[in-house]
Amino acid sequence: MKQLGFALIVLLAMPAMANEMVLKARQTVDIYGSSALVPSLADVDYRLSWQLSGEQTEAGCQPSQVLVSLTATVTEPLEWPQTPAWQNYRLALTGYERLVRERALLSAEWLEQSLFSIAPQPSCEHLQQVADNVGYHQLDIARTLLRDFQQQNDYGRHLGLIRPE
């Protein structure tokens, strides 16, 4: 099996003025893996992570910078059979994973918007707790979105992803 890795820095929201960053919280959680296809010919692992910096103001500690990244690692066989049926399968698999990636990107955008819109908190420690709660809530939404998409499409079979015999 070979692994192809790529990282997408999804969004970076920064204030107009550079402010002191007093809080950094980072989490990485798996949100999708295509291991439901048995036997597995390709695997994709998506990870969302976030980093939030806070600034203490008169109103409280508020987000001043949010960085959300989406990383996907694709594992597939070193060689595919050189028949038209297998080449079509590989193309269908790539197309299916692109659709999943679009949903993962949408989830990353929601995560960034949710983190950046957190109201000022009494302390930066409290902001970190709220950010973690918001982040994990958004990850649950992402898992549900991706799981529902997989199930509605029978893990790609309804979109033409049918393994050749």
Determine contact, residues 56/22, Cβ cutoff 8 Å: yes
Residue 46: count other Cβ atoms within 10 Å of its Cβ: 26
User: Nearest-CA neighbor of 153 among 84, 80, 95?
Assistant: 95
More confident residue, 36 or 49: 49
Written in H, E and C, the secondary structure of 112-139 is HHHHHCCCCECCHHHHHHHHHHHHHHHH
Give the confidence band of 51 by pLDDT, cuts at 50, 70, 90.
confident
Span of 13-17, 57-61, 100-104, 156-160 with lowest mean pLDDT: 13-17
For the cut 80, the answer to whether the pLDDT of residue 71 exceeds it is: yes
Span 126-139, pLDDT tens digits: 998 999 899 989 98
Please give the Cα distance from 106 to 70 (Å, whole number): 10
For the cut 60, the answer to whether the pLDDT of residue 32 exceeds it is: no
Determine contact, residues 2/72, Cβ cutoff 8 Å: no
What pairs with residue 3 in β-bridges? 75
Measure the CA angle with vertex 158, ends 155 and 164; round to 5°: 80
Strand stretches in 58-164, DSSP E:
60-76
Coil, helix or strand for 61?
Answer: strand
Coil, helix or strand for 63?
Answer: strand
More confident residue, 33 or 89: 89
Determine contact, residues 3/74, Cβ cutoff 8 Å: yes
How long, in residues, is the chain?
A: 165
Q: Please compute the mean of the pLDDT values over residues 149-163 and round it to a whole number.
A: 86
Span 74-95, pLDDT tens digits: 777 778 888 999 888 888 888 8
Enter the DSSP assignment of 124: H
Average pLDDT score, the chain: 77
